[in-house]
Chains A and B, each alone.
Chain A
Amino acid sequence: MNGEAKAGGQEVKMMKLDDLLQRNVYDVDEEPHIVVDYSKCDKCPTKPCVYLCPAGCYTLVGGRILFSYEGCVECGTCRVICPMDAITWNFPKSGRGIYFRFT
């Protein structure tokens, strides 16, 4: 999916989400601050987290949700939208996680 769009000879590139997240500064905790109960995800018909988690922490692998917390930007969207109450959500402890600079 890594294409390029030309504008008057100038380049604006398409980016993978992972490459965007690479631009951020994190101090990732060893322990996840979010815990997902996959047994509830299996029963979820819409899985809005796959579309709406801005950091793409929720992906579909073989039709099942796979969660990874490392790129989390701590927005809280998944906690609010989960229709199955499958997410135990907290902020990272001890100053860990995302470190915003220009936002």
Chain B
Amino acid sequence: MPGGSTPQKFDVIVVGAGPAGSAAAYLLAKKGFKVLVIERGRGAGSKELYGGRVYAAPLREVWPELDKEAPIHRWVRKERISVVNGETVATIEYTASKPVSFTAYLPELAGWMAKKAEEAGALLVDEVRVDEIIVENGKIVGVRSGDDRVYADVVIDAEGANRLLLEKLGMVERASPENLAVGVKEVIKIGGKNIEERFGLEPGEGLAWVLVGVTSGAPGGGFIYTFKDTVSLGVVVHLRGAIKAIESGAFTDHVYKLVEGLRIHPYFRKLWADGDIVEYGAHLTIEGGLSFMPKKLVAPGFVIIGDAAGLLLNTGYTIRGVDFAVYSGKLAAEAVEEAFNKGGPTEENLKVYEEKLRDSFVYKELVKHRGIEKVMKDPDFFTKYPAMLTLTLGKLFEGEYEEPTILEALLSSAREAGVPLLSSLLKLLWVVRRL
């Protein structure tokens, strides 16, 4: 246990009241640490935006009361994956026996997590933007906002994907379009009854839907999630891929037009017909977490968690960010406590955080699925392969008199889509083994 704090000094300062920051703050405050959480938004959660789905189990390790108390909208029972090529759509649907994830508004959920941290004794100060991490004698000692300085034995950086503070510290390179994507989404209110009827759901059940072929040739995809009485729809576009698509002339319209294309798409638009758009927004997301991860996640008096640490996995069919963030917050809280018990938060003592993370499912998942980085760099996965699949199905199902064999349909579709079969097959095998 720490001791001897003066009023201006905290044991721990957490920068950012997102899922990672609030999980760390909650667990440390519960252990009796004097914790200050600094949030730039008006109230925790007001700057949060994601697709819409959270995996529950890692969160329950921090908050066992999650299922009862958290602002959960719907438990995801139905998963859909669709390949879109113009007006044609090929879909796989899976109904789970037992839901493991739920939909929630992240502003609400992050607000709940921050309230938990406050109830445990953490002090939350909002509407304060941290401008700098203070370094003295090679050690991180606090944070500065404008002319105000606050000091602590440990600073936990949970600033998110826009790592202004880490860049200033020199702990990460300047942000690059290589390993970032932008998610753009609309939220449309259609009412709970409509959601259940139109998506074939029981009350309280939700649906998560991933789409390929909706990003005008730029690497990325689309998503649809159902909430209590709204639907969110959006696209995620890899930034380097989008820049290349702009340069090559494949991408000729504004990125919001991709979301609009999905909203007015003849197959999808029935789902939210007569709804009201209640919000529109965007957020950066990480592609290829390992390449975004800082070389060091700890420094003397300093720990990096959540998106800032590169802890987000987008496999294309599932996206895990909030649960990774919360879990890294939990590991950081354990590491900080152990470091205090071992004599103080030196870099040596805090290194246990890196070890814990490397042994956790979070890091193992990122390593296991590293093949996705290759996918994101290859436009074929977002143009030619979706086209080939829908063309093949079209030949099989749209023959008015004659129907080709599957092989004939595949071969002629590959030719039409410009896919060299053998090399593509090898590429697909390589990737599938690493997803």
Residues of A that sit less than 8 Å from B by CB: 5, 7-8, 10-15, 17, 20-21, 23-24, 27, 46, 48, 50-56, 73-77, 79-81, 83, 89-95, 97-103
- 8 Å CB contact of A100 from B230, B256, B270, B281: B281
Question: Per-position contact with A for B234-275: 1 when CB-CB < 8 Å, else 0?
Answer: 000101001100110001011110001001101001101110
Residue contact A77 to B227, C-beta cutoff 8 Å = no
Is A100 a contact partner of B48 (Cβ separation < 8 A)? yes
Chain A CB within 8 A of B122 CB: no
Contact B269 A5 (CB under 8 A): yes
List 8 A-B pairs, minimum CB-CB distance, nearest first. Answer: A95-B127, A10-B273, A54-B282, A95-B42, A103-B49, A12-B269, A76-B162, A20-B280
Contact of A103 among B175, B251, B279 (CB under 8 A): B279
- The one of A5, A13, A75, A94 in contact with B283, judged by C-beta atoms closer than 8 angstroms, is A75
Q: Does B137 contact A (CB under 8 A)?
A: no
Q: How far apart are the CA atoms of A45 and B226 in the complex, in Å?
A: 41
A71 to B403: give the CA distance in the assembly, Å: 53
26 contacts between A and B (CB under 8 A): A7-B269, A12-B269, A12-B272, A51-B253, A52-B255, A54-B255, A54-B281, A54-B282, A74-B47, A75-B182, A75-B282, A76-B284, A77-B182, A79-B162, A79-B175, A80-B177, A93-B129, A95-B42, A95-B126, A95-B127, A99-B46, A100-B46, A100-B281, A101-B46, A102-B278, A103-B49
Would A102 and B246 be within 8 Å (CB), given that A7-B270, A56-B254 are in contact? Answer: no
| Of A5, A48, A99, the contact of B41 (CB 8 Å cutoff) | A99
Chain A residues lying within 8 Å of B269, measured Cβ to Cβ, are 5, 7, 10, 12
A13, B276: Cα distance in complex, Å: 10
Q: CA–CA, A79 to B167, complex, Å? A: 13
Tell whether, in the assembled complex, residue A80 and residue B284 are in contact, meaning their CB atoms are under 8 Å apart.
yes
Beyond A95-B126, A99-B41, 5 additional contacts (C-beta under 8 Å) are A15-B277, A20-B277, A56-B254, A80-B239, A95-B42
Residues of B within 8 A of A8 (CB): 270, 273
Q: A81-B243, A101-B105 are known contacts. Are A12 and B264 too (CB-CB below 8 A)?
A: yes
A55 to B232, CA, bound (A): 17
Q: Does B164 contact A (CB under 8 A)?
A: yes
Bin the interface of chain B by size: 35 or more
Q: Interface residues of A: mostly helix, strand, loop or mixed?
A: loop
Least CB distance, A101 to chain B, in whole angstroms? 6
Nearest chain B CB to A56 CB, angstrom units: 6
Which residues of chain B are within 8 angstroms of A95 by Cβ–Cβ distance? Answer: 40-42, 46, 126-127
Would you give the shortest CB distance from B294 to chain A, in whole angstroms? 17
Residue of A nearest to B182 (CB): A77
Among the 9-residue stretches B184-192, B314-322, B324-332, B405-413, the one with 4 or more Cβ atoms under 8 Å from chain A is B184-192
Could you tell me the distance between the alpha carbons of A60 and B263 in the complex, rounded to whole angstroms? 26
**Contact between chains at B239 and A52 (CB < 8 Å):** yes
Interface on B for A, CB 8 Å cutoff? Answer: 40-42, 45-50, 105-107, 126-129, 146, 161-162, 164, 175-177, 180, 182, 184-187, 227, 230, 232, 237, 239, 242-243, 246-247, 251, 253-256, 260, 263-264, 266, 269-270, 272-274, 277-284
Contact of B106 among A14, A51, A92, A103 (CB under 8 A): A103
Kindly state the separation between the CA atoms of A100 and B278 in the bound complex, as whole angstroms: 11
Given A12-B263, A56-B256, A81-B239, the answer on whether A99 and B42 have CB atoms closer than 8 Å is: yes
Separation of A55 and B129 alpha carbons in the complex (Å): 22
Given that A76-B162, A93-B129 are contacting pairs, would A54 and B279 also be in contact in the complex, using a CB cutoff of 8 Å? no
Q: Is the CB of B107 within 8 A of A102?
A: yes
Q: Is the CB of B40 within 8 A of A103?
A: no
- What's the Cα separation between A17 and B106 when bound, in Å? 23
Chain A's nearest CB lies how many Å from the CB of B197? 13
- Are A10 and B284 within 8 A (Cβ)? no
Q: B residues within 8 A CB of A79? A: 162, 175
**Of B50, B107, B146, B280, most A-chain CB atoms within 10 Å:** B280
Which of A10, A13, A91, A103 has the most B CB atoms < 10 Å from its CB? A103
Residues of chain B within 8 A of A5, CB atoms compared: 264, 266, 269
Q: How far is the CA of A93 from the CA of B364 in the complex (A)?
A: 37
Choose one: A10, A14, A74, A97; the contact of B260 (CB below 8 Å): A14
With a CB–CB cut-off of 8 A, which chain B residues contact A90?
129, 164
Q: B243 to chain A: which residues have CB within 8 Å?
A: 46, 48, 52, 81, 83
User: In the complex, A56 Cα to B256 Cα: how many Å?
Assistant: 9
B47 touches A20 (CB 8 A): no
Q: Is the CB of A51 within 8 A of B283?
A: no
B residues less than 8 Å from A55 (CB atoms): 282
